A and B are shown apart, each in its own frame.
Chain A
């Protein structure tokens, strides 16, 4: 630990006040991102991935949203609870962000070039024409053909993939040290996805920029990330290197996600195994592990007490919030046996 991490998030807790009650969307999330590293956050819809990163940027609607606890430090400077003016000193400058749906994420009545140039004008004080020239260079950098002509066009004249390239160009305008990509390829088809991921990888490597990639697509994670956080019901339930998560998966939820993933290697007739049930109601989060009701290996303690992180014995930073990883926990074969006996008896 020679250098402090680029981004350090501790105990982030976010709630939303709704008519139905208080939704505890993010329940104490910790993670760190080192400079130049790609970290993926995976999890199913509604698990709090987007809320986590959007609260870092200060762009969750408040009210109804509120950050009730936690801190997030970028190079040691606190990000949470800033006044808009102070927050704007890093938004778009130190941290760039791309969104899920490029079709709606750009202003329909402003040219692409102007929208990219705007970031440069605001943060760098670059005058209009010069900022527009830089915008054209940024578009060229993201491999948009005829960038000069394209810069004078409006979002409706772009295809989805082109728009996402423009979004990337816009978010990279001020060479941020961190790029947050909130499901950047979900709305796009697979070919475009691959192109964009390659593009982001190249640009990330060029500038040694760190990336937080939010996705529910494990294939995307395997392709791009070095570190992975798996989120479930507002908490990180497993984190570690991409190899740890894929080959040493320790949490039953991670295993469930993996077996629900299609593969083109091996038996094509094999059906996908969806995880039965649905995530818990975050109006009243469960006492124990959020996954326990869906978990095939759940024990009594899982329903009663939320597990802490148990570190992997390899000491690679791989840790799992699961009682099965506790030193005194029964091994899975034992459990399997006892479950089988129980179900046979019933």
Chain B
């Protein structure tokens, strides 16, 4: 298990290095540069700025500086937000996105496993048909529609009760997090429900379920001890990438609910070609994704002995 973890971590580091290099090259391949947005610049000022940020050096040299700074954990200073370090941007706003994302993935995973198990138990019966219809909605309706609908629901609820049950937007307390994380997790929940359903139906037909019946075990025991654990494996597999997708892809929901998450800065930076912010956030997100996948792999090993022991 230790060697397995170590091996996964090592390949993770290589992946992150690859992401960093690819981002660096892709960004410099895009026409234009961050200084083009500066108003009323003379050639002299542009040259001074370029020198300040090191943009006048040859590309390989820039790459080496960038990489060595990154290894020391320094992503540099933003081009557009005067004197703001990229590290500070991440430090201030990532915890917000992460908290939202973790709650969203919790909703998605618990909901997906629960609904998936229910649909499999009631296959082709009314609960299955209703849930699977909702699942199609959940997969096909984009999150900003759900976000707006969620807000509308909250407004009406608050009016109905004449008091503020849940805040409609903003950030600060746990109650601020509930609706946006639910909205954010909805698509993933739908996806996991489908996955769990098909996986449960597959496991039901496995020989070892027949064995369990022939052993005279109760249906509850067969369900929890034999079926669920084996059916959950494919769900856990997609959980890693889904965690990253939710945490990084939440900027639309963050925007609608006025949540000061990292997503907004990420998108802004790309629009303004803010080199350091793009590179910093991309590499950070990349490392986060890799870490989540490794974490899920390790969890997977605990659930499936075949992974742990081989």
Partner of A122, one of B217, B230, B309: B217
Evaluate contact between B207 and A104: CB separation under 8 angstroms.
yes
Evaluate contact between B211 and A109: CB separation under 8 angstroms.
no
Evaluate contact between A88 and B216: CB separation under 8 angstroms.
yes
- Bound together, the chains give a CA A84 to CA B221 distance in angstroms of 12
Given known pairs A109-B305, A110-B225, the reply for A118 and B208 (CB within 8 Å) is no
Question: Does B210 reach chain A (CB closer than 8 Å)?
Answer: yes
Evaluate contact between B216 and A107: CB separation under 8 angstroms.
no
- Distance between A104 CB and nearest chain B CB, rounded to angstroms: 4
Question: Does A31 reach chain B (CB closer than 8 Å)?
Answer: no
- In the complex, chain B residues whose CB is within 8 Å of the CB of A91: 213-216
- In the complex, chain A residues whose CB is within 8 Å of the CB of B229: 109
Question: Does A310 reach chain B (CB closer than 8 Å)?
Answer: no
Interface positions, chain B 264-310, Cβ under 8 Å from A, are 303-306, 309
Evaluate contact between B216 and A119: CB separation under 8 angstroms.
yes
Question: Does B219 reach chain A (CB closer than 8 Å)?
Answer: yes
Given known pairs A92-B214, A122-B215, A122-B217, the reply for A107 and B208 (CB within 8 Å) is yes
Question: Does B44 reach chain A (CB closer than 8 Å)?
Answer: no
- In the complex, chain A residues whose CB is within 8 Å of the CB of B221: 122
B195-215 to A contact mask, C-beta < 8 Å, 1/0: 000000000001110111111
Evaluate contact between B211 and A122: CB separation under 8 angstroms.
no
Question: Does A123 reach chain B (CB closer than 8 Å)?
Answer: yes
Interface positions, chain B 212-255, Cβ under 8 Å from A, are 212-219, 221, 225-226, 229-230
- Distance between A54 CB and nearest chain B CB, rounded to angstroms: 8
Given known pairs A105-B208, A110-B226, A122-B221, the reply for A93 and B216 (CB within 8 Å) is yes
Interface positions, chain A 83-97, Cβ under 8 Å from B, are 84-85, 87-93, 96-97
Given known pairs A101-B207, A104-B207, A105-B207, the reply for A85 and B215 (CB within 8 Å) is no
Interface positions, chain B 71-107, Cβ under 8 Å from A, are none
- In the complex, chain A residues whose CB is within 8 Å of the CB of B217: 88, 92, 118, 122
Partner of B210, one of A87, A105, A123, A157: A105
For the side of the interface on A, what is the size category?
Answer: 20 to 34
- In the complex, chain B residues whose CB is within 8 Å of the CB of A89: 216
Evaluate contact between B230 and A59: CB separation under 8 angstroms.
no
A262-285 to B contact mask, C-beta < 8 Å, 1/0: 000000000000000000000000
- Bound together, the chains give a CA A85 to CA B304 distance in angstroms of 30
- Bound together, the chains give a CA A93 to CA B215 distance in angstroms of 8
Evaluate contact between B215 and A170: CB separation under 8 angstroms.
yes
- In the complex, chain A residues whose CB is within 8 Å of the CB of B216: 87-93, 119, 122-123
Evaluate contact between B215 and A154: CB separation under 8 angstroms.
no
- Bound together, the chains give a CA A118 to CA B225 distance in angstroms of 10
- Distance between A341 CB and nearest chain B CB, rounded to angstroms: 53
- Bound together, the chains give a CA A85 to CA B217 distance in angstroms of 9
- Nearest A residue to B304 via CB reads A109
- In the complex, chain A residues whose CB is within 8 Å of the CB of B215: 91-92, 118-119, 122, 170
- Bound together, the chains give a CA A110 to CA B229 distance in angstroms of 10
- Bound together, the chains give a CA A171 to CA B214 distance in angstroms of 9
Evaluate contact between B208 and A154: CB separation under 8 angstroms.
no
Given known pairs A84-B219, A109-B230, A109-B304, the reply for A97 and B214 (CB within 8 Å) is yes
Partner of B206, one of A58, A104, A119, A171: A104
Given known pairs A84-B219, A88-B216, A156-B306, the reply for A107 and B210 (CB within 8 Å) is no
- Bound together, the chains give a CA A193 to CA B226 distance in angstroms of 28
For B211, B303, B304, B306, the residue with the greatest tally of chain A CB atoms inside 10 Å of its CB is B211
Question: Does A231 reach chain B (CB closer than 8 Å)?
Answer: no
- In the complex, chain A residues whose CB is within 8 Å of the CB of B211: 97, 99, 105-107, 167, 170
**21 contacting pairs across A/B (C-beta < 8 A):** A54-B210, A57-B214, A58-B213, A88-B216, A89-B216, A92-B217, A96-B214, A97-B211, A99-B211, A101-B207, A104-B208, A106-B211, A107-B226, A109-B229, A109-B230, A110-B226, A118-B217, A119-B215, A123-B216, A156-B305, A156-B306
Interface on B for A, CB 8 Å cutoff?
206-208, 210-219, 221, 225-226, 229-230, 303-306, 309
Task: Kindly list 12 other residue pairs between chains A and B, CB separation below 8 angstroms, not including A99-B210, A108-B304, A122-B218.
Answer: A59-B210, A59-B213, A87-B216, A89-B216, A92-B215, A92-B216, A93-B216, A99-B211, A107-B211, A107-B212, A110-B225, A118-B215
